[in-house]
A = this chain, B = another copy of it.
Amino acid sequence: PAKLKSRIPRWNIRASEMSKRTLNPIRAIVDGMKIQPNPNKQMIALSIGDPTVFGNLPTDDEVLIAMTEAITSQKFNGYAPSIGYQSSREAVANFYSCPEALLEAKDVILTSGCSQAIELSIGVLCNPGQNILVPCPGFSLYKTLAVSMGIEVKLYNLLPEKSWEVDLKHLESLIDDKTACIIVNNPSNPCGSVFSKSHIQKILAVASRHCVPILADEIYGDMVFPGCTFHAMAPLSADVPILSCGGLAKRWLVPGWRLGWILIHDRSNAFGSEIREGLVKLTQRILGPCTVVQGALESILNKTSQEFYDSTISFLKSNSDICYNALSTVPGLTPIKPSGAMYIMVGIDMERFPEFKNDVEFTERLVTEQSVFCLPATPFEYPDYFRIVVTVPEEMMVEACNRIREFCEQHYDQQIPDLQDLECDK
């Protein structure tokens, strides 16, 4: 020890294990890509899940008015309770309450975006060493958060041939004694899929049989195309306790404002006071979302016009149709028809594109040659697909699809014997 004491200390500052474990796969993959557009073609980014970047999808005027009023009132400068103002929580409760899943202010916790809603929900439900079930393909934040907390992630499959329904057998087979929750994301990022009522009931039946609570990521709730209906999970179950996460980001087109919520749908007191209190404690770490947005929330929810919602949806539907129809006839690509949210997943028949090792190389070259950037689906744990965001202006959507066609036609390999021939060879 004398020796130890006499050693001259040196700076030896290391980043914590937790920070090192906080891995964002989108960044990890995109930052490693060579994104060098073709200088002769203007870049079209179909990669960013932010509907506001092109300015073609402004939020509703009522939303802006509500915010301006909240500021000039000067009533929302001070601290709110860490779970949010009572009146704002009540506004959310009233907005989402329905006879089969009643909500009061006490069932609502306001958070800094849906991201924090998910962080707190995982944080309260799971201990290190437990596991959570996460959709594949799926939004990468679930894994990022869980792994950083020492929670194991098990991926359950979605089935592209069934419009991305859950492989229920697979889901059920993954549940064990250490399963702390099932995350269900509907409508889905990256799939743009929307589950039917009966499919949701089947997912709930699995959760019910094994007594596993559900974290429902419903940030794209109500963002479904005409003819399709969005069913929230909670009203469809009488016994499965559900934390439903949502927020203003997508439907109200203000993702930067960081206003999210957790709706606590308890059933037979399965969450009990413990989960509620645990959530309250977790909110006290950083003290809730911006009070100005909280102050505007009641007006935002109650005054935004139906016309605004409808026109957003009809734009997304129209763009999505343009994209789906165009890519359906491109050799080597298989787009999966979406019903909501703002994404399309497109399968790549990699055998037909022998020049490229995988979806990452495929999308990389699409940038180099055509200046069109689509996100490879590897960060969603789904190689050989890419994701298109359909919020870009229509002309860009059309132009991008044309360029994708040109790219695929140039690289599609006709020579490859098709599968049947291959099998005969054996």
Contacts and interface: CB of A to CB of B under 8 A. Distances in A.
Copies of this chain present: 2
B275 A15 contact: yes
A271 B11 CA distance: 9
Interface in A118-148: 119, 123-127, 141, 144-145, 148
Contacts of A115: 285-287
Contacts of A158: none
A256 B77 contact: yes
Contacts of A241: 11, 13
A255 to B, nearest CB: 5
Interface string A6-17: 000111111111
Contacts of A116: 285-286
A289 B292 CA distance: 12
A168 interface: no
A29 interface: no
A64 B59 contact: no
Given A64-B74, A124-B19, A144-B285, A257 B13 contact: no
Given A13-B272, A123-B18, A286-B113, A78 B53 contact: yes
Nearest to A240: B11
| Residue from the set A19, A58, A71 with the largest chain B CB neighbour count within 10 Å | A19
A361 interface: no
Given A257-B290, A258-B290, A127 B268 contact: no
A112 interface: yes
Given A12-B211, A68-B71, A77-B253, 12 more contacts: A9-B211, A15-B277, A16-B125, A19-B123, A24-B284, A52-B77, A64-B72, A67-B292, A113-B286, A256-B294, A258-B291, A290-B292
